[in-house]
Amino acid sequence: MQFSISDMLFLLVLFLVMFIAIFLYTSGKGRRMSNVLLGSFFLALGLNLADSFLLLKQVYFSYPSLGLWGSNLLLLCGPLIFFYAQSVIYKDFHITTRKTIHFLPFAILFLFTEILYLAAGYQKQTEILNRILQRKLPGSMYIVSLGIYVHFVTYLLLALQLIKQYGQAAANKYADPKRVTLTWLKTTIWFFLLLLLVTLVGSYLSYQSFTKAYFIMLSCTVFLLLGFIVLMLFKALGNPAIFSVMEESEVKEAAQPAKYTSSTMADGDKKSLLERLLQHMQTQKPYFEPELTLDALAAQLQVKPKILSQVINELQQQNFFEFINHYRIEEAKKLLNNPKDKKITVLEVMYEVGFNSKSSFNTLFKKSTGLTPSEYKKQSME
CATH of the domain at 294: 1.10.10.60
Please check whether residues 155 and 79 belong to one and the same domain.
yes
Quick check: 241 and 247 in contact, CB under 8 A? no
Report CA-CA distances (Å) from 257 to 151, 247, 252, 305. Answer: 29, 18, 10, 18
Pick from 250, 282, 303: which residue ends a domain?
250
Residue 216, pLDDT score: 58
Please check whether residues 28 and 140 belong to one and the same domain.
yes
Please check whether residues 296 and 192 belong to one and the same domain.
no
Please check whether residues 204 and 275 belong to one and the same domain.
no
Please check whether residues 311 and 171 belong to one and the same domain.
no
| CATH code of residue 82 | 1.20.1070
What is the domain count for the chain? 2
Q: Confidence band (pLDDT; 50, 70, 90) for 44?
A: very high
Interval 360-370 mean pLDDT:
91
**DSSP line for 272-287:** HHHHHHHHHHHHH-GG
Q: Which three-class secondary structure state does DSSP give residue 293?
A: strand
Q: Is 53 left (phi over 0), alpha (psi -120 to 50) or beta?
A: alpha
Q: Model confidence over 174-205: pLDDT tens digits?
A: 888 777 777 778 888 888 888 888 777 766 66
Pick from 232, 250, 268: which residue ends a domain?
250
Please check whether residues 274 and 240 belong to one and the same domain.
no
Q: How many CB atoms lie within 10 A of CB 292?
A: 19
Q: Tell me the one-letter amino acid at 167.
A: G
Please check whether residues 225 and 292 belong to one and the same domain.
no
Pick from 183, 217, 250: which residue ends a domain?
250
Please check whether residues 318 and 241 belong to one and the same domain.
no
**Pick from 6-15, 82-91, 103-112: least confident:** 6-15
Q: Model confidence over 51-66: pLDDT tens digits?
A: 888 887 888 888 888 8
Please check whether residues 132 and 168 belong to one and the same domain.
yes
Please check whether residues 244 and 274 belong to one and the same domain.
no
Could you tell me the residue range of the domain that residue 325 belongs to?
256-381
Please check whether residues 202 and 272 belong to one and the same domain.
no
Please check whether residues 196 and 329 belong to one and the same domain.
no
Q: Confidence band (pLDDT; 50, 70, 90) for 257?
A: very low
